[in-house]
């Protein structure tokens, strides 16, 4: 064999960007288990376990709850292609890149997509959606991003759900950066379709996308006039595989093993405890960022616990700091998305998700950031960020 193809040994990074995040060793170990056939009776029990645990984590009783084989974008597409048909009106409230992506995917179904734009750093409001709903005789659905990964903003959902349902529409919620780390209650908030990804707060590698459909959404799918445009993402067929064991495609066996173990870890910790851990560590991070004199993108009342977007100091290329953190501390953080001119090249997106949301990671990151800033000629009081974070953690009892 040619010597150019040696063994691949990736560096040990601390993944504190927008995802993926590092996962618990138990999850990696689960992926190494022996393969089974995707219709093997033992594997079918694994599938049942995953569906049951996903319902607990989504806080729903929906039978149509399962992981799509693909990343979070696959679930976003599954949500759209299953409920939308050509000519349907679909309203998408946007306050960042992933709302815009939802609108783009929905438009490819042939639906008439209307966007309701919100300012960068602000949540989606029920009032703005209500105003747009009033302009249309019939609306099939409304899409909202619960946790906008591009800006670090969280949007309250329950009030929006009432407005949407009063208009006879379905509510579709993107929970890619909230499921498993931030309060999310599908049934209590009356969400019709909710989807996520495995690589963030859930704590598994990328490659699966949990999704759940409520009764209203199932009724819409059952009464479609046209076929779902995607064979691979047709929820009727996928439900038959996950519930009746009718062959649809070869499932990613090892990924499903990893998801099962990640969900076990989530439920062992307890959802409320997990939500509290993410909130406390985010509060400590924000206290440290504030003490360094840096600005946060999100409105203080609507900051996402799993991801914090921070402006780099005026005149400092944010990429210089990210490179310094990677080269000197093995810490990865994300920059602003190139499709958002207001933030591209101007922010860092710092993730504290799943296994990575720990007090020790907060303190290590803040210490490293202080060094990186100093190396780029932005001085802060020595230890100011770490000290502020420690005080906040003591205050919270963490």
pLDDT digits (tens, 9 = 90+) for 25-38: 999 999 999 999 98
Q: Among candidates 262, 257, 259, which has minimal Cα distance to 354?
A: 262
Mean pLDDT of the chain: 96
pLDDT digits (tens, 9 = 90+) for 178-206: 999 999 999 999 999 999 999 999 999 99
Structure confidence at residue 381 as a pLDDT band (50, 70, 90)? confident
pLDDT score, position 270? 98
Strand partners, 117: 94
Structure confidence at residue 395 as a pLDDT band (50, 70, 90)? very high
CATH T-level fold of 271-396: 3.90.1150
> Residue 2: pLDDT above 70?
no
Where exactly are the structural domains of the chain?
A: 25-267, 271-396
Strand partners, 89: 112
pLDDT score, position 244? 78
pLDDT score, position 245? 78
Residue in the block written with tokens 């993944």:
15
- The DSSP-derived string for 49-113 is HHHHHHHHHHT---SEEEEEES-HHHHHHHHHHHH--TT-EEEEEESSHHHHHHHHHHHTTT-EE
Report residue 329 as tokens: 């501390």
State mean pLDDT over 125-147: 98
More confident residue, 332 or 242: 332
State mean pLDDT over 270-276: 98
Structure confidence at residue 43 as a pLDDT band (50, 70, 90)? very high
Quick one: CA dihedral 325, 97, 182, 304, positive or negative? positive
pLDDT score, position 194? 98
Percent of the residues in the chain that have a pLDDT greater than 90, as a whole number? 93
> Residue 48: pLDDT above 70?
yes
**CA–CA separation, 179 and 202 (whole Å):** 6
Q: Does domain 25-267 have CATH number 3.30.450.20?
A: no
pLDDT score, position 243? 82
Structure confidence at residue 240 as a pLDDT band (50, 70, 90)? confident
Sequence-separated (6 or more) residues with CB below 8 Å from residue 134: none
Report residue 48 as tokens: 């049942």
State mean pLDDT over 193-220: 98
Q: Among candidates 57, 130, 42, which has minimal Cα distance to 93?
A: 130
Q: Among candidates 301, 299, 279, 283, which has minimal Cα distance to 291?
A: 283
pLDDT digits (tens, 9 = 90+) for 284-298: 999 999 999 999 999
pLDDT digits (tens, 9 = 90+) for 5-31: 889 999 999 999 999 999 999 999 999
Q: Among candidates 63, 92, 66, which has minimal Cα distance to 78?
A: 66
Of how many residues is the chain composed? Answer: 398
């Amino acid at each position: 064999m040619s010597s150019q193809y040696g063994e691949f040994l990736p560096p040990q990074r601390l993944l504190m960007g927008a995802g993926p995040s590092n996962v618990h060793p138990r999850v990696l170990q689960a992926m190494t288990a022996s393969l089974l056939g995707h219709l093997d009776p033992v594997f079918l029990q694994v599938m049942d376990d995953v569906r049951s645990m996903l319902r607990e984590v989504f806080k729903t009783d929906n039978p149509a709850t399962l992981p799509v084989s693909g990343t979070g974008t696959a679930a976003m597409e599954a949500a759209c292609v299953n409920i939308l048909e050509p000519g349907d009106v679909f309203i998408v409230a946007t306050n960042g890149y992933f709302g815009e992506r939802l609108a783009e995917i929905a438009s490819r179904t042939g639906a008439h997509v209307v966007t309701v734009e919100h300012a960068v750093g602000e949540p989606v409001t029920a009032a703005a959606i209500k105003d747009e709903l009033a302009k249309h005789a019939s609306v099939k659905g409304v899409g909202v991003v619960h946790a906008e990964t591009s800006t670090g903003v969280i949007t309250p959902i329950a009030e929006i759900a009432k407005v949407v349902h009063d208009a006879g529409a379905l509510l579709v919620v993107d929970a890619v950066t909230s499921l498993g780390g931030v309060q999310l209650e599908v049934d209590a908030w009356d969400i019709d379709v909710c989807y996520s990804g495995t690589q963030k707060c859930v704590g598994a590698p990328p490659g699966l996308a949990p999704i759940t459909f409520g009764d209203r959404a199932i009724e819409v799918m059952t009464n479609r006039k046209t076929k779902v445009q995607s064979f691979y993402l047709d929820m009727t067929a996928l439900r038959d595989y996950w519930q009746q064991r009718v062959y649809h495609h070869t499932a990613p066996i090892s990924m499903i093993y990893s998801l099962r173990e990640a969900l076990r870890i989530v439920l062992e910790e307890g959802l409320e405890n997990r939500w509290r851990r993410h909130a406390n560590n985010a509060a400590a991070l924000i206290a440290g960022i504030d003490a360094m004199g840096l600005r946060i993108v999100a409105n203080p009342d609507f900051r996402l616990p799993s991801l914090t977007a921070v402006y780099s100091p005026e005149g400092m290329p944010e990429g210089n700091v990210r490179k310094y953190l990677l080269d000197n501390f093995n810490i990865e953080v994300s920059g602003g998305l190139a499709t958002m001119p207001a933030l591209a090249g101007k922010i860092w997106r710092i993730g504290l998700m799943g296994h990575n949301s720990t007090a020790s990671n907060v303190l290590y990151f803040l210490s490293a950031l202080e060094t990186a800033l100093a190396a780029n000629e932005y001085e802060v009081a020595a230890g100011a960020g770490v000290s502020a974070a420690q005080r906040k953690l003591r205050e919270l009892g963490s």
